[in-house]
């Protein structure tokens, strides 16, 4: 088996690989890296978890130039999670060569992605939908593209993705280098090969018997009404290890997650209806071991690399044998041991036999000893759980338990006198002041009252006729009264008044 030292790689790339503790290439890497370094188009088929990402990432970084601040490489992947994973691997290799990457996926703001493109990122990793949006907006230009990679090509070229892929590739120059990688290659992928690839090098890596035996496949036939109990039995038997459970629909995954949570399992759900932030959080928690059971749809079946998954459980069968291959490939990665378990109700057996023939593997049906007590609900309430956690965190405190109908005594504050009585509030003081305003305080004496009445009589005026009965008189202006001179306007000097009168006389003569 050759080593990476045998490839004509830059010293910086060799140093990054050594830091990642990657010494020997896998079979797909050993066959694909020389062909891609030579500039040939390539179609690579290998089992999931065999290292296909590095098979195209290493030659891609080697062939790009850091002096050109334009998009030189485009990697298209089917899911956001796989795009983030590929971008993380490429960022390590690209930073050593002073190259930058841009991640274009849905669920994130356009502004950050546009800034990365304007900065001059040479490598773009994205999903087809978001890449197409940037092309339509004019923020992404591919007229100087040198390398284009389709990862997980069988799903990328599905009936829903094929038109978008063709629109994106139509904007790239004909001189580009193309590479397709996937675990399975259906017949209709050949049409895309003939249309966009030029004399591709075909690399097909068949797993050996030892590699196939790294994943132990088991199929259990269980009654329909005991399927949940069978799942709980499997989770209890592998308590303390990570388990990935696959469902068929988003609603079914959410419902199954709620049922397992009520039974006391720490679970997380992953499907297309979740926001990008929620998907990243649950994956991070699952990688770090904070969540030991992850329930997912087929969105997690493609290229997701999570170390330490002890078992994959197919709670519901997938639609095709290709999806089944991707599902069980989440465990036993890179030669590690793993277990793939499939739960089958009687109606699933015919479909399972057809899928087994397509996979070329024979998996015998077994019976599972189901523990009926495994689906017993948890008796502890949330308040009791929080109280136990608090007691574990503060063991020195003496906490007394009280029944719901028992009154809890209030703990006095430090330095507080319990004999202190609260004074009246502001409203009470105002109300008391108003009630104290009695009329006795303002009463007159007899002498004062008689003098007050006499002064009031002196102020009385003779009764006048109502205004409605009086004759109407012409109102006289102050200047027209007899014996009075017209009032002068206050504040106007005589010179200004004379000037105004002269001006008015001249205007009268002109008329």
Q: Which of 193-202, 203-212, 324-333, 446-455 has the lowest mean pLDDT?
A: 446-455
3-state class of 313 per DSSP?
strand
Instruction: Place 279 in a pLDDT band, splitting at 50, 70 and 90.
Output: confident
3-state class of 169 per DSSP?
helix
Beta bridge partners of 342: 219, 314
CA separation (Å) from 272 to 101, 318, 435?
A: 25, 16, 70
pLDDT, one tens digit per residue, over 43-52 is 998 877 778 8
Q: pTM for the full model?
A: 0.62
- Section 471-496 average pLDDT: 57
Distance between first and last Cα of the chain: 120
pLDDT, one tens digit per residue, over 3-14 is 788 888 899 999
pLDDT, one tens digit per residue, over 90-138 is 999 999 889 999 999 988 889 999 999 999 999 999 999 999 999 999 9
- Structural domains of the chain, with CATH: 4-204 (3.40.50.300), 209-375 (3.40.50.300)
Which two tokens mark 10? 């830059």
Q: Which has more confidence, 68 or 388? A: 68
Q: What is the mean pLDDT of the chain?
A: 78
Q: Which residue in 349, 319, 342, 320 sits closest to 244, CA to CA?
A: 342
pLDDT, position 147 = 96
Q: Which residue in 101, 94, 161 sits closest to 129, CA to CA?
A: 161
Half-sphere exposure of 350 (CA within 13 A, CB side): 1
Residue whose entry in the numeric block shows the structure tokens 């399972």:
352
Q: Which of 175-184, 309-318, 387-396 has the lowest mean pLDDT?
A: 387-396
- Residue 365 scores a pLDDT above 80: yes
Provide the Cα torsion 284, 287, 291, 293; round to 10°. Answer: 120
* Main-chain dihedrals φ then ψ at residue 19, nearest 5 degrees: -70, -30
- Residue 202 scores a pLDDT above 60: yes
Q: Are strands 215-221 and 365-366 parallel, antiparallel or unpaired?
A: parallel
Q: Which residue in 143, 104, 96 sits closest to 123, CA to CA?
A: 104
Percent of the chain exceeding pLDDT 90 equals 30
Instruction: Place 335 in a pLDDT band, splitting at 50, 70 and 90.
Output: low
DSSP 362-418: ---EE-----GGGGPPP---HHHHHHHHHHHH-TTS------TTSPPPPPPPTT--T
CB 61 within 8 A of CB 36: no
pLDDT, position 491 = 59
pLDDT, position 360 = 67
pLDDT, one tens digit per residue, over 412-451 is 444 444 444 455 666 676 666 665 544 444 444 445 445 5
Cα dihedral sign, 387-391-394-400 = positive
- Residue 353 scores a pLDDT above 50: yes
pLDDT, position 78 = 87
CB 106 within 8 A of CB 129: yes
pLDDT, position 275 = 85
Instruction: Place 289 in a pLDDT band, splitting at 50, 70 and 90.
Output: confident
State the Cα–Cα distance between residues 10 and 61, nearest whole angstrom: 10
- Section 270-288 average pLDDT: 86
- Residue 75 scores a pLDDT above 50: yes
Beta bridge partners of 178: 148
Q: Which of 151-160, 442-451, 499-508 has the lowest mean pLDDT?
A: 442-451
Beta bridge partners of 343: 220
Which two tokens mark 64? 């790009």
List the Cα angle 461/467/472 in 5-degree steps. Answer: 125
Which two tokens mark 103? 């991640």
- Residue 390 scores a pLDDT above 80: no
- Residue 502 scores a pLDDT above 60: yes
Q: Which has more confidence, 356 or 348? A: 348
């Amino acid at each position: 088996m050759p080593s990476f030292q045998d490839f004509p790689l830059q010293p910086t790339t060799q140093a990054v690989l050594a830091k990642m503790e990657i010494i020997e290439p896998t079979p797909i890497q050993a066959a694909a890296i020389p062909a891609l370094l030579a500039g040939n188009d390539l179609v690579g088929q290998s089992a999931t978890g065999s290292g296909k990402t590095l098979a195209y990432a290493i030659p891609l970084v080697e062939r790009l130039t850091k002096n050109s601040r334009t998009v030189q490489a485009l990697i298209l992947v089917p899911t956001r999670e796989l795009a983030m994973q590929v971008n993380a691997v490429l960022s390590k290799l690209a930073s050593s060569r002073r190259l930058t990457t841009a991640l274009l996926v849905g669920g994130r703001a356009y502004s950050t992605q546009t800034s990365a493109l304007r900065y001059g990122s040479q490598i773009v990793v994205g999903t087809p939908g978001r890449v197409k949006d940037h092309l339509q907006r004019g923020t992404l230009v591919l007229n100087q593209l040198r390398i284009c990679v389709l990862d997980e090509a069988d799903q990328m070229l599905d009936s829903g993705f094929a038109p978008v892929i063709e629109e994106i590739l139509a904007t790239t120059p004909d001189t580009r280098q193309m590479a397709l990688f996937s675990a399975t290659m259906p017949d209709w992928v050949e049409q895309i090969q003939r249309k966009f690839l030029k004399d591709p090098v075909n690399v097909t890596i068949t797993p050996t018997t030892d590699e196939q035996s790294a994943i132990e496949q088991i199929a259990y036939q269980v009654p329909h009404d005991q399927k949940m109990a069978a799942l709980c039995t499997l989770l209890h038997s592998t308590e303390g290890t990570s388990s990935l459970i696959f469902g068929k629909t988003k609603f079914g995954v959410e419902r199954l997650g709620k049922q397992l949570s009520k039974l006391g399992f720490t679970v997380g759900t992953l499907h297309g209806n979740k926001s990008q932030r929620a998907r990243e959080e649950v994956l991070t928690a699952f990688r770090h071991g904070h969540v030991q059971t992850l329930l997912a749809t087929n969105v997690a079946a493609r290229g997701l690399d999570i170390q330490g998954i002890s078992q994959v459980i197919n709670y519901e069968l997938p639609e095709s044998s290709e999806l089944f291959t991707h599902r069980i490939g989440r465990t036993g990665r890179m030669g590690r041991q793993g277990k793939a378990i499939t739960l089958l109700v009687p109606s699933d057996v015919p479909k399972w036999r057809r899928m087994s023939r397509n996979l070329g593997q024979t998996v015998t049906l077994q019976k599972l000893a189901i523990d009926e007590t495994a689906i017993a609900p948890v008796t502890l309430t949330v308040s009791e759980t929080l109280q136990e956690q608090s007691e574990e965190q503060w063991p020195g405190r003496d906490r007394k338990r009280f029944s719901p109908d028992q009154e809890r005594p209030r703990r006095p504050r430090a330095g507080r006198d319990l004999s202190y009585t609260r004074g009246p509030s502001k409203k009470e003081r105002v109300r008391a002041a108003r009630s104290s305003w009695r009329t006795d305080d303002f009463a007159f004496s007899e002498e004062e009252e008689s003098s007050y009445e006499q002064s009031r009589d002196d102020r009385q005026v003779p009764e006048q006729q109502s205004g409605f009965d009086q004759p109407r008189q012409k109102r006289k202006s102050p200047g027209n009264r007899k014996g009075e001179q017209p009032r002068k306007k206050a504040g106007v000097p005589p010179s200004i008044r004379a000037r105004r009168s002269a001006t008015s006389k001249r205007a009268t003569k002109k008329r």
